[in-house]
Structure 1
């Protein structure tokens, strides 16, 4: 079977200048990197290219600089963190095009690693300006994209360069694309999607796409309240987008037409206020007290989701079931995460999850490592689930 994307397996990097786009948009405090997860994800690709004798030239953006270089958004301190993670020296140059960058690259030996300054310091980056792309392309022989999290943007270093140089997916990008294809591209059926989170309004396109892709759509979080309200149920003081009731009904109608079953909560954990260890109790969704709010799904609903998990082959998950950051309203999300992880470990389920809150919830349940794949890419993961074309991915396709 031919692969749809070119990967490092198809590249001869020895002695070549490899422009490697990575995501180094890491959190920092007082000039120190506080979370190295994103660096750890691309370490494998950096080391592989260096070990094969390539000259690794790292391209990355950092923060949202306004119209030119500024110290606060410099990648200089990040170079040290990359060196720590990969256990090798990493050079740094204070520009991403021009003479300074060209001179630094000119002195590199095979296996050397160099980080160029924040690509967003040049206005040409976000505009995907052909002149800027041309300047960048002069610095390399091969282009490798390992930043799936930036793949939904058609910028110079995420999309433009792929049309100028031989383009390949790095290992982290490759894993992401393989996992996403497993989940919704060509999945083992039946497929279920869990969509949670606070609001229907932020996930309309997602829900619209999923009803045509999955066999069962499990709706949780605050958005489930809007669907319950649309069915005529009282939701008390719960978070609820009442103005979207007709939209919720049209999503249900589209699901029926597509023969996609929608699973909504049948019971809920309610309380008068959202705060840690607030007195809470379980009610059927037909009997939510007027002065209380739904803050998690209840045990019958958890059992219904667990029952679905036992029947399916593939699960895609985006968004928690309740206000999981505030105990005891994390109970359902943690229980379902553990059930999905257990089935995955037994080889009965392919589980792919993504989105910031979802990753945080799986980490809290201590099961992130047991899922088939957990995507750290927020916007790109969501746009991919919505069925949108990601420019940075399309540019890597084998034409």
Structure 2
């Protein structure tokens, strides 16, 4: 661990610039899901308890360096105040006299939210001058936005080079969970990778076959692998042009002694619709007029057995069309088993990615995994084995 936490940095009497991710969904001026705001609360409260003043930096949407009123962070101020339970002030710019004046008038026990960093071109360009302008209003830098750590922007990477830097509580928890899952995991390690397309997860699959003991492939991706082995998948979603790549991944897995679990039985339907007419057949017996929408019960039994034998689980992507019944059955059953083993202390389980979080919440086990990441792109890039600029900058800042 080359990065510091809030416990390792002097905060008393300081202005702490805190990079957060509060890019939450807003409809008609109201926040419809405050999860990301709620998750920054421990960091903000710890900074206040240390006698420092939290000044929050964040992006919202993609204004591309221009001031776009609909993307102003002002519209989430009230919800942030509700979630944090403390007064939240707002400044109409994140640099210059406006920001400095707002910081100067900030009282102890208050929080200041600065306007959208992406209203300035220098943010996404990681412009040194813009990073220095941000740094000029604070004394220390806290990065609590793992979900933006895969971006080398001024507020995620540049600032860590200019001020004493540390990880916030959310970033700390995320990094520790990820280190436990792939850095130095307890073995055996099982990974579940689902979703529609192999082509979007090539780097991920290539990295995992070298790191895990068992790789479960589900969803539309599994159809592509079955087709690559000469199986007729009927009308199923499959990337037939990825057949050579799929076979290469299977070969690499064999070389690395990584077991690949593909469906041995499948649930096929005539259409992608809730409660569509369906049959369960062996994986090589998909009717030509049907599509594969879920893994069958025998496949689920194999997956559960792999979970039973494992010490660590990493999960990204559903096993089937989890959005519609009854094609959520495999995902729900496997997720339930993972949650059961986790609660029994037999499994470390880490999951992430948009569809994954939605699928696990739908299965009713969103709170039962060891850690669930809402980071999306950053979580995927970490699983792919890529260096995340925001994390690397924290390491660099403290070496």
1:62–1:75 contact (8 Å) kept in structure 2: yes
**Alpha carbon RMSD of aligned pairs, Å?**
0.8
- Please give the alpha-carbon distance, in whole angstroms, between the structure 2 residues aligned to 1:341 and 1:118: 38
Partner of 2:305: 307
Q: CA deviation at 1:4?
A: 2.6
TM-score normalised to structure 1 length:
0.98
**Which aligned pairs between 1:379-398 and structure 2 lie closer than 5 A?**
379-397=377-395, 398=398
| Gap regions ≥5 residues in structure 1 | none
Partner of 2:146: 148
- Give 1:118's match in structure 2, choosing from 100, 116, 119: 116
- Give 1:265's match in structure 2, choosing from 263, 266, 280: 263
Q: CA deviation at 1:356?
A: 0.5
Deviations 1:92-122 (A, max 9, x none): 0100000111111112233321000000000
2:64–2:121 contact (8 Å) kept in structure 1: no
- Please give the alpha-carbon distance, in whole angstroms, between the structure 1 residues aligned to 2:65 and 2:88: 27
**Match status 1:196 vs 2:194:** yes
Deviations 1:283-339 (A, max 9, x none): 001111111110000000000100111101000000000010011100000000000
Partner of 2:165: 167
- Please give the alpha-carbon distance, in whole angstroms, between the structure 2 residues aligned to 1:49 and 1:77: 24
Question: Secondary structure, in 3 states, of the residue corresponding to 1:212?
Answer: helix
Partner of 2:70: 72
- Give 1:292's match in structure 2, choosing from 267, 275, 290: 290
- Please give the alpha-carbon distance, in whole angstroms, between the structure 1 residues aligned to 2:66 and 2:237: 41
- Give 1:12's match in structure 2, choosing from 10, 13, 23: 10
- Give 1:351's match in structure 2, choosing from 349, 352, 363: 349
2:146–2:375 contact (8 Å) kept in structure 1: yes
Partner of 2:205: 207
**Which aligned pairs between 1:74-153 and structure 2 lie closer than 5 A?**
74-153=72-151
Question: Secondary structure, in 3 states, of the residue corresponding to 1:369?
Answer: coil
Question: Secondary structure, in 3 states, of the residue corresponding to 1:244?
Answer: helix
Question: Secondary structure, in 3 states, of the residue corresponding to 2:40?
Answer: helix
- Please give the alpha-carbon distance, in whole angstroms, between the structure 2 residues aligned to 1:297 and 1:207: 19
Deviations 1:116-161 (A, max 9, x none): 0000000000000001011111100000000000000000000000
**Which aligned pairs between 1:166-245 and structure 2 lie closer than 5 A?**
166-245=164-243
Deviates more, 1:64-73 or 1:26-35: 64-73
- Please give the alpha-carbon distance, in whole angstroms, between the structure 1 residues aligned to 2:298 and 2:262: 11
Partner of 2:48: 50
- Please give the alpha-carbon distance, in whole angstroms, between the structure 2 residues aligned to 1:4 and 1:133: 22
1:269–1:296 contact (8 Å) kept in structure 2: yes
1:53–1:110 contact (8 Å) kept in structure 2: yes
TM-score normalised to structure 2 length:
0.98
Q: CA deviation at 1:242?
A: 0.4
| Gap regions ≥5 residues in structure 2 | none
Number of aligned residue pairs: 397
- Please give the alpha-carbon distance, in whole angstroms, between the structure 2 residues aligned to 1:274 and 1:30: 32
Deviations 1:236-273 (A, max 9, x none): 00001001001000000101111111111000000110
Runs of 4+ in 1 over 4 A off after TM superposition: none
Question: Secondary structure, in 3 states, of the residue corresponding to 2:45?
Answer: helix
Partner of 1:363: 361
**Match status 1:24 vs 2:22:** yes
